[in-house]
Amino acid sequence: MIIAPHNQRGGVGKTTTSVHIAHAAALYGKRVLLVDSDPQGSLRNILKIQHDSTLHDLLDNGFKLEEVIVKGVRTGPEKGTLDVIISDKALTETETKLIQSGNRAETVGKLREALAPVKDMHYDLILIDSPPGLSPILQSVYHTVDSLLVPIAMDYMSFVGSHQVIESLSLLKQDYDIRATIAGILPVAVDHRLAVTDSTLTSIKNKYERYYPIFPPIRIDATIAKSGMRGQTLYDRLALPVERLTPDHRAAWDYYQVMKLLIQGQHSPGILKPPDA
């Protein structure tokens, strides 16, 4: 199962969602590969990874997957492990080449082709952290994944960005053999003390409820930014066995529940028919 959290709007929780679902799944005993497809390269900082080769080396410099995958960045019980392919600003060179090549089919298929051998590596879950906007790399992400999980932070522009995801996916599907579906909508940074939260949640419900699963929300949690700055996830910071997580652990608890729903494929009921994706 290959999933990318994506919203075309920047700063809406894509990276936070990728990292925490990935780490939660490893702590749940799953084999997880997390791929950074954003030249901002945040994953290496949040997970404190020192490694020379990156996704750019895989896509452009002839490196093999084994050379770019950083193994066992975090571990969990049984076979639980988190492996990561990091990125950095060199990925913008890949983007430039893709734009200059003028070959859209090559552009769109690039990442999928490069990651094809992971099928034999027996991962339970592959997550791709995506950049904002609709860059060539992102189109390539759409072509690679089985589904997109759409985080929506509690503001209007984030809500607009979610619709752009669905439109872009629909447009790309007209031209390419893209199988990706929408795994669901994930409200993030939910803070019921703010009026905008309730109005955004109502808009999400009205617009998407009939078509897509809406996952339980991720609450606002000031410790996310603090942990990230120290090169930690929320689970690193808490340093607890997951059996001892409680709802008081806010986003750490919320992401753990969403991860289980995603892995078990138990999204909320009531999907009638995706309108255009």
Single residue of 22, 30, 34, 38 touching ligand ATP by CB under 6 A = 38
Report in angstroms how near the CB of residue 33 gets to ligand ATP at its nearest.
18
CB 114 within 8 A of CB 97: no
Report in angstroms how near the CB of residue 223 gets to ligand ATP at its nearest.
8
Residues 6+ apart with CB under 8 A from 137: 37, 91, 94, 95, 98, 111, 131
Single residue of 7, 15, 162, 197 touching Mg ion by CB under 5 A = 15
Single residue of 41, 76, 187, 228 touching ligand ATP by CB under 6 A = 228
DSSP-derived secondary structure letter, 221: -
CB 131 within 8 A of CB 121: no
* Residue with the two structure tokens 């929320």: 234
Report in angstroms how near the CB of residue 272 gets to ligand ATP at its nearest.
29
Segment lying near Mg ion (by CB under 5 A), choices 13-21, 92-100, 156-164, 259-267: 13-21
Report in angstroms how near the CB of residue 221 gets to ligand ATP at its nearest.
4
Strand partners, 129: 36
Strand partners, 5: 149
Q: Name the 3-class secondary structure at 111.
A: helix
Which residues in this chain contact ligand ATP in the complex, by CB under 6 A?
10-16, 38, 40, 132, 188-189, 218, 220-221, 224-225, 228, 251
Which residues in this chain contact Mg ion in the complex, by CB under 5 A?
14-15
